[in-house]
Amino acid sequence: MSGEDAHSEVLNQDAQGRLRTIIERVERLEQEKSEVMEQIKEIFAEAKGGGFDTKIIRKVVRIRKQDRAKRQEEEAILDLYLAAIGEI
């Protein structure tokens, strides 16, 4: 029995087809992700060319993703810790 025959016994034709579809979907999404990442890179280059600080823009984007209440709680704790060590 060849290696291919052994594999086809493990996965029937229906399972093989579903597996192929899943892999192809992931591959398409990976390609789309790559394209989106390139677009984001271009936007940051545009921002930098316009005189904006891209590090701060990234931070703003990250902050905007957070829940407002959770962010405020984290900021309050950060302020408390910084005050405790004499940084503010």
Give the ranges where the chain is alpha helix by DSSP (H).
3-10, 13-49, 54-65, 68-84
User: Per-residue pLDDT averaged across 36-50, rounded?
Assistant: 98
By CB neighbour count within 10 A (0-12 exposed, 13-18 middle, 19+ buried), where does 62 fall?
exposed
Spans of all domains in the chain: 1-51, 53-88
User: Per-residue pLDDT averaged across 41-59, rounded?
Assistant: 98
Which pTM does this prediction carry? Answer: 0.67
**What is the C-alpha to C-alpha distance for residues 44 and 59, in angstroms, rounded to an integer?**
13
Per-residue pLDDT reduced to its tens digit, 54-73:
999 999 999 999 999 999 99
pLDDT confidence band for 81 (50 / 70 / 90): very high
User: Per-residue pLDDT averaged across 32-52, rounded?
Assistant: 98
